[in-house]
């Protein structure tokens, strides 16, 4: 997604010049061509094995439930209004309603009825709701996974011919916000000019600078990017360009340009399909210093028809400085080569955290050949904790995994992020298995970045954090 190969380059170079030992650097990048995804994680079951056994387990469990309740199961199947609609409201309508990314709305019985079998399939195979955390040592606040009981209920309902039941038993419809998801938006900024998106040709990343006009520092607790051309937006990142920054100074504001760039600027917010707005926990905020600009990075994917994107950013402020300042960090590499037809190419990066930080969220970023991604802590004795394994990784779902409870990472914590790529012809998204792949911004090039939000002492900005020295 970026630009800022973590902690990779500029930042680290700056940090190295001042205090080599404490900088957060990649000290090893390993690319192993031969080790497979499964053998690389010898002490875990393979991703497929694990998923199969989860599926089996949940179907065994639902079979047991049904077996244990023969009367209930025979008596009356679940009905749409009483039992199915509440699940759809809670887990599906965020996307499956007009104007959102789900291709069909699931608000009423008539809308849902034709999809009953497809819904049963998609939930039993755990394709829906989209969520790709295969295993994790932490819990996620935005985990939408249906319980085995909910899946069994949908299964029984669809199998019984999708009965509607009594509308009087339906829950009240959810009042979905018409515009913003955020309950309160204090400030909005709109692109002054739309970006045209061609029907078929894939654009390089587009960039646009939006001056904010803040005359005083602002603490931002929530931020939302609302894409204009929702179906064509793969992601949008909003960077904070602080007033002294030389980054993109030669580019005009308010106009689209392309710029294969590297930046040390902090990220304010990002939009990807399926990821809600940034809503920070109480007492936490991101700082947007007076005089800052937003620099937006757009990745569009062609939809088959030409369109235009006019996106908007909304921000919510808090008056007082927060207890913790939130920074978006990233660790990854731009220095790799994925050979033609490699089915399990592995790239790992390591880093040491320069200061204490509360971990808030994790977001892996790869392109079309991305297959799986691990976020791990390597303890001093060598024990490995898998914070999160995303498998299978899916390019169209750049999900952000937000921890249910912030996790303290002490200064000196060793992090290892590992990415696996499938450049074989078996990868249905692979545009060209015969190509050797290097870093690049287009979907047919690759990236290897793990983003993670941390909360730190508010006296730190990003460079200071990497030097572990308050500003
Ligand atoms: C984060 C957004 C999102 C959520 C939440 C979501 N969907 Fe979807 N759904 C989509 C999108 C986008 C597609 C079309 C692309 C695709 O198939 O992946 C889709 C496609 C589908 C399809 C048709 C394709 C298929 O996989 O069979 C069904 C059925 C479906 N969703 C059911 C559900 C159900 C049931 C839920 C809730 C339990 C749900 N979805 C939750 C976004 C979502």
Per-residue pLDDT reduced to its tens digit, 190-247 = 999 999 999 999 888 899 999 999 999 999 999 999 999 888 888 899 999 999 899 9
CB distance 133 to 50 below 8 Å: no
The stretch 458-466 carries a mean pLDDT of 86
Residue 101 located in a structural domain: yes
Answer with the one of 169, 195, 228 that is the final residue of a domain: 169
Q: Which range among 15-29, 188-202, 316-330 shows the weakest confidence by mean pLDDT?
A: 15-29
Residue 28: its pLDDT value, please? 31
- Same domain, yes or no: 471 and 330: yes
Answer with the one of 119, 135, 169 that is the final residue of a domain: 169
Place of tokens 């040592």: 137
The stretch 323-330 carries a mean pLDDT of 94
Residue 367: its pLDDT value, please? 92
Total tally of structural domains belonging to the chain: 2
- Same domain, yes or no: 368 and 462: yes
Asked if residue 273 has pLDDT above 50, the reply is: yes
Pick the residue whose CA is nearest to atom 31 on ligand 1: 128
The stretch 360-368 carries a mean pLDDT of 94
The stretch 329-350 carries a mean pLDDT of 96
Pick the residue whose CA is nearest to atom 13 on ligand 1: 102
63: confidence class by pLDDT, cuts 50, 70, 90: very low
- Mean residue pLDDT of the chain comes to 83
Residue 293 located in a structural domain: no
Q: Which residues pair with 347 in a beta bridge?
A: 31, 419
Residue 3: its pLDDT value, please? 32
Asked if residue 64 has pLDDT above 70, the reply is: no
2: confidence class by pLDDT, cuts 50, 70, 90: very low
Residue 218 located in a structural domain: no
Q: Residue 384 CA to chain centroid, in angstroms?
A: 23
CB distance 297 to 207 below 8 Å: yes
| CATH number of the CATH domain containing 21 | 2.60.120.230
Pick the residue whose CA is nearest to atom 33 on ligand 1: 128
Residue 103: its pLDDT value, please? 87
| Residue 274 Cα to ligand 1 middle (Å) | 10
Pick the residue whose CA is nearest to atom 7 on ligand 1: 129
- Same domain, yes or no: 436 and 385: yes
Task: Determine the structural domain holding residue 447 and report its residue range.
Answer: 1-32+323-471
- Rounded to the nearest 10°, the torsion over CA 77, 80, 82, 86 is 130
| Residue 246 Cα to ligand 1 middle (Å) | 43
Euclidean distance between CA atoms 4 and 312, whole angstroms = 23
Tokens read off for 199: 């029907």
Q: Per this entry, what is the length of the chain?
A: 471
Residue 275 located in a structural domain: no
For residue 294, which phi and psi values (nearest 5 degrees)?
-95, 135
- Same domain, yes or no: 69 and 142: yes
For residue 143, which phi and psi values (nearest 5 degrees)?
-70, 115
- Same domain, yes or no: 20 and 55: no
- Same domain, yes or no: 121 and 8: no
Residue among 80, 93, 122 to mutate when testing ligand 1 (max atoms within 8 A of CB): 122
- Same domain, yes or no: 446 and 330: yes
The stretch 145-157 carries a mean pLDDT of 97
Range of 67-81, 116-130, 456-470 with top mean pLDDT: 116-130
- Same domain, yes or no: 162 and 101: yes
Residue 164: its pLDDT value, please? 98
Residue 98: its pLDDT value, please? 83
The stretch 307-326 carries a mean pLDDT of 95
CB distance 206 to 257 below 8 Å: yes
Answer with the one of 169, 190, 215 that is the final residue of a domain: 169
Residue 267 located in a structural domain: no
Residue 464: its pLDDT value, please? 83
Residue 377 located in a structural domain: yes
- Percentage of the chain exceeding pLDDT 70: 83
Taking alpha carbons only, the member of 135, 397, 180, 212 closest to residue 279 is 180
Residue 260: its pLDDT value, please? 66
C-alpha torsion sign, points 420, 424, 429, 435: positive
Residue 8: its pLDDT value, please? 27
- Same domain, yes or no: 146 and 4: no
Pick the residue whose CA is nearest to atom 3 on ligand 1: 95
Taking alpha carbons only, the member of 389, 398, 220, 201 closest to residue 292 is 220
Residue 301: its pLDDT value, please? 86
Range of 74-78, 263-267, 301-305, 434-438 with top mean pLDDT: 434-438
Residue 75: its pLDDT value, please? 66
- Same domain, yes or no: 5 and 120: no
Per-residue pLDDT reduced to its tens digit, 116-131 = 999 999 999 999 999 9
Residue 102 located in a structural domain: yes
Asked if residue 62 has pLDDT above 90, the reply is: no
Residue 13: its pLDDT value, please? 26
151: confidence class by pLDDT, cuts 50, 70, 90: very high
- Same domain, yes or no: 346 and 461: yes
- pTM, to two decimals: 0.80
C-alpha torsion sign, points 35, 41, 402, 53: positive
Please state the atom number of ligand 1 nearest to the C-alpha of residue 121.
27
| Residue 275 Cα to ligand 1 middle (Å) | 14
Q: Which residues pair with 402 in a beta bridge?
A: 361
Tokens read off for 223: 């931020």
Euclidean distance between CA atoms 6 and 330, whole angstroms = 5
- Percentage of the chain exceeding pLDDT 90: 66
Please state the atom number of ligand 1 nearest to the C-alpha of residue 154.
35
Asked if residue 300 has pLDDT above 50, the reply is: yes
396: confidence class by pLDDT, cuts 50, 70, 90: confident
Euclidean distance between CA atoms 448 and 371, whole angstroms = 11
Euclidean distance between CA atoms 426 and 284, whole angstroms = 44
Residue 101: its pLDDT value, please? 77
Is 181 a pocket residue for ligand 1 (Cβ < 6 Å)? no
74: confidence class by pLDDT, cuts 50, 70, 90: low
40: confidence class by pLDDT, cuts 50, 70, 90: very low
Is 95 a pocket residue for ligand 1 (Cβ < 6 Å)? yes
Residue 451 located in a structural domain: yes
Asked if residue 12 has pLDDT above 60, the reply is: no
Is 6 a pocket residue for ligand 1 (Cβ < 6 Å)? no
Beta pairing, strands 284-288 & 324-332: parallel
- Same domain, yes or no: 344 and 464: yes
């Amino acid at each position: 997604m970026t630009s800022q190969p973590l902690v990779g380059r500029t930042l680290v170079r700056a940090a190295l010049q001042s205090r080599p030992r404490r900088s957060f650097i990649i000290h090893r990048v390993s690319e192993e061509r031969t080790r497979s995804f499964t053998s690389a994680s010898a002490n875990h079951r393979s991703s497929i094995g694990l998923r199969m056994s989860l599926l089996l387990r949940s179907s065994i469990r639902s079979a047991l439930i049904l077996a244990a309740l023969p009367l209930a199961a025979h008596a009356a199947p679940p009905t749409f209004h009483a039992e199915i609609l509440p699940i759809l409201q809670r887990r599906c309508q965020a996307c499956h309603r007009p104007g959102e990314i789900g291709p069909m709305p699931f608000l009423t019985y008539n809308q849902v009825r034709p999809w009953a079998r497809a819904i049963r399939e998609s939930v039993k195979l755990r394709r829906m709701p989209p969520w790709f955390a295969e295993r994790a040592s932490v819990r996620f606040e935005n985990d939408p996974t249906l319980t085995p009981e909910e899946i069994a209920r949908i299964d029984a309902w669809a199998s019984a011919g999708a009965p509607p039941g009594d509308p009087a038993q339906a829950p009240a419809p959810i009042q979905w916000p018409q515009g913003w998801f955020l309950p309160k938006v204090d400030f909005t900024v709109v692109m002054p000019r739309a970006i045209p998106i061609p029907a078929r040709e894939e654009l390089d990343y587009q960039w646009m600078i939006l001056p904010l006009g803040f005359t005083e520092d602002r603490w931002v607790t929530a931020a939302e990017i609302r894409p204009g051309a929702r179906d064509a937006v793969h992601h949008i990142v909003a960077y904070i360009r602080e007033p002294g920054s030389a980054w993109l100074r030669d580019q005009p504001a308010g106009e689209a340009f392309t710029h294969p760039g590297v930046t040390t600027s902090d990220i304010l917010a990002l939009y990807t399909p399926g990821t809600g707005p940034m809503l920070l926990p109480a007492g936490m905020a991101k700082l947007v210093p007076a005089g800052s600009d937003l620099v937006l990075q757009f990745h569009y994917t062609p939809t088959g028809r030409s369109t235009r994107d006019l996106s908007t950013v909304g921000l919510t402020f808090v008056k007082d400085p927060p207890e913790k300042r939130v920074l978006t960090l990233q660790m990854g590499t731009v220095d790799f080569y994925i050979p033609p037809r490699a089915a399990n190419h592995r790239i790992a990066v390591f880093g040491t955290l320069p200061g204490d930080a509360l971990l808030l969220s994790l977001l892996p970023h790869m392109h079309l050949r991305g297959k799986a991604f691990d976020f791990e802590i390597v303890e001093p004795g060598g024990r490995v904790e898998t914070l999160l394994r995303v498998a299978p990784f899916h390019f169209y779902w750049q999900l952000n995994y937000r921890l249910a409870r912030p996790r303290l990472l002490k200064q000196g914590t060793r992090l290892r992020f590992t990415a696996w790529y499938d450049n074989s012809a078996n990868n249905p998204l692979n545009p060209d298995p015969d190509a050797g792949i290097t870093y690049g911004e287009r979907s047919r090039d690759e990236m290897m970045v793990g983003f993670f939000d941390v909360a730190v002492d508010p006296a730190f900005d990003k460079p200071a954090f990497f030097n572990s020295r308050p500003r």
